[in-house]
Structure 1
Amino acid sequence: MSSGDGAGSNGRGASEHEVVIVGAGFAGMYMLHKLRGLGFDTVVLERADGVGGTWYWNRYPGARCDVESMQYSYSFDPELEQEWSWSERYSGQPEILRYANHVAERYDLRRDIRFGTTVAQVDWDDDARQWRLQTDRGEYRARFVVMATGCLSTANVPQFEGAETFGGPTYHTGRWPHEGVDFSGQSVAVIGTGSSAVQAIPVIAAQCRKLTVFQRTPNYSVPARNEPLDPAEQAKWKANYRELRAKMFAERAAMVQRLPDGEDPAKEAGDDEFCQRMEQRWEVGGFTFYRAYGDIALDPESNNRVAEFVRNKIAGIVHDPEVAAKLTPHNTIACKRPCLDTHYYETFNQPHVDLVDVSETPIERICEAGVVVDGREYPVDGIVYATGFDAMTGTLLRMNVTGRGGMRLADHWDAGPRTYLGLGVAGFPNMFTVSGPGSPSVLTNMIPSIEQHVDWIARCLVDLRERGAATIEPEPHAEAYWVDYVNAVADLTLYPTCNSWYLGANIPGKTRVFMPLPGFPPYVEICEDVASDNYRGFVLT
Structure 2
Amino acid sequence: MVLGAGVAGLYQLHQLREQGLRVRAYEAGTDVGGTWYWNRYPGARFDSEGYIYQYLFSEDLYKDWSWTQKFPDQPEIEQWMHYVADRYDLRRDIQFSTTITGANFDEDRGRWTIHTDRGDTIDTQFFITCGGMLSAPLENVFEGQDTFRGRIFHTSRWPKEKVELAGKRVGVVGIGATGIQVIQTIADEVGHLTVFARTPQYVLPMKNPKYGEAEQTWYKSRFAELKATIPHTFTGFEYDFEHVWADCSPEQRQEILEEIYQDGSLKLWLASFGEMFFVEEVNEAVSEFVREKMRARLKDQRLIDILVPTDYGFGTHRVPLETNYLEVYHRDNVDLVGVRDNPIARIAPEGIQLSDGTVHQLDVIILATGFDAGTGALTRIDIRGRDGRSLAEDWSRDIRTTMGLMIEGYPNLLTTAVPLAPSAALCNMTTCLQQQTEWITDVIRHVRKQGKSVIEPTRQGEDAWIAHHEETANATLVTKTHSWYMGSNVDGKPRRLLSYIGGVGTYRKKCDEEAAAGYPSFQTS
Q: Does 1:393 align with 2:375?
A: yes
Q: 1:17-416 counterparts in 2 under 5 A?
A: 20-137=1-118, 138-229=120-211, 231-257=213-239, 261-265=241-245, 269-290=248-269, 291-330=271-310, 331-373=312-354, 374-416=356-398
The AA in structure 2 aligned to 1:125 is: D
Deviation for aligned residue 1:315: 1.2
The AA in structure 2 aligned to 1:67 is: S
**Superposition CA RMSD, Å:** 1.3
Distance in 2 (alpha carbons) for counterparts of 1:448 and 1:230:
25
Question: What does the per-residue CA deviation read over 1:477-518, in whole Å, with 9 as the maximum and x for residues that have no partner?
Answer: 211221121111111211112211111111112111111101
Match of 1:536 in 2: 520
Q: Contact conserved, 1:123 with 1:402, CA < 8 A, in 2?
A: yes
Q: Does 1:427 align with 2:427?
A: no
Match of 2:495 in 1: 512
Distance in 2 (alpha carbons) for counterparts of 1:227 and 1:359:
36
Distance in 1 (alpha carbons) for counterparts of 2:110 and 2:444:
15
Q: Does 1:493 align with 2:476?
A: yes
The AA in structure 2 aligned to 1:527 is: C
The AA in structure 2 aligned to 1:236 is: W
* Number of aligned positions between the proteins: 519
Deviation for aligned residue 1:349: 1.1
Distance in 2 (alpha carbons) for counterparts of 1:196 and 1:328:
17
Q: Contact conserved, 1:319 with 1:349, CA < 8 A, in 2?
A: no
Q: Does 1:465 align with 2:448?
A: yes
Question: What does the per-residue CA deviation read over 1:515-535, in whole Å, with 9 as the maximum and x for residues that have no partner?
Answer: 110111111111111111111
Long gaps (5+) in structure 1: 1-19
Question: What does the per-residue CA deviation read over 1:266-294, in whole Å, with 9 as the maximum and x for residues that have no partner?
Answer: 7x754433332222222211111122223
Distance in 2 (alpha carbons) for counterparts of 1:91 and 1:161:
36
Distance in 2 (alpha carbons) for counterparts of 1:282 and 1:162:
43
Distance in 2 (alpha carbons) for counterparts of 1:188 and 1:436:
34
Deviation for aligned residue 1:157: 1.9
Question: What does the per-residue CA deviation read over 1:425-470, in whole Å, with 9 as the maximum and x for residues that have no partner?
Answer: 1111111001221111120111011111111111111111111111
Deviation for aligned residue 1:158: 4.5
The AA in structure 1 aligned to 2:2 is: I
Match of 1:3 in 2: none
Match of 1:524 in 2: 508
The AA in structure 2 aligned to 1:275 is: Q
Deviation for aligned residue 1:39: 0.2
Distance in 2 (alpha carbons) for counterparts of 1:62 and 1:336:
21
Q: Contact conserved, 2:150 with 2:363, CA < 8 A, in 1?
A: yes
Distance in 2 (alpha carbons) for counterparts of 1:470 and 1:476:
19
The percentage of counterpart residues that share the same residue type is 37
* Runs of 4+ that moved beyond 6 A: none
- Provide TM-score, normalisation by structure 1: 0.94
Distance in 2 (alpha carbons) for counterparts of 1:515 and 1:145:
22
Distance in 2 (alpha carbons) for counterparts of 1:192 and 1:38:
44
Match of 1:418 in 2: 400
Question: What does the per-residue CA deviation read over 1:149-195, in whole Å, with 9 as the maximum and x for residues that have no partner?
Answer: 10010111243122221100000111101113121001110000101
Distance in 2 (alpha carbons) for counterparts of 1:231 and 1:329:
41
Distance in 1 (alpha carbons) for counterparts of 2:303 and 2:248:
31
The AA in structure 1 aligned to 2:463 is: A
Distance in 1 (alpha carbons) for counterparts of 2:507 and 2:38:
30
Long gaps (5+) in structure 2: none
The AA in structure 2 aligned to 1:503 is: M
The AA in structure 2 aligned to 1:224 is: M
The AA in structure 1 aligned to 2:437 is: V
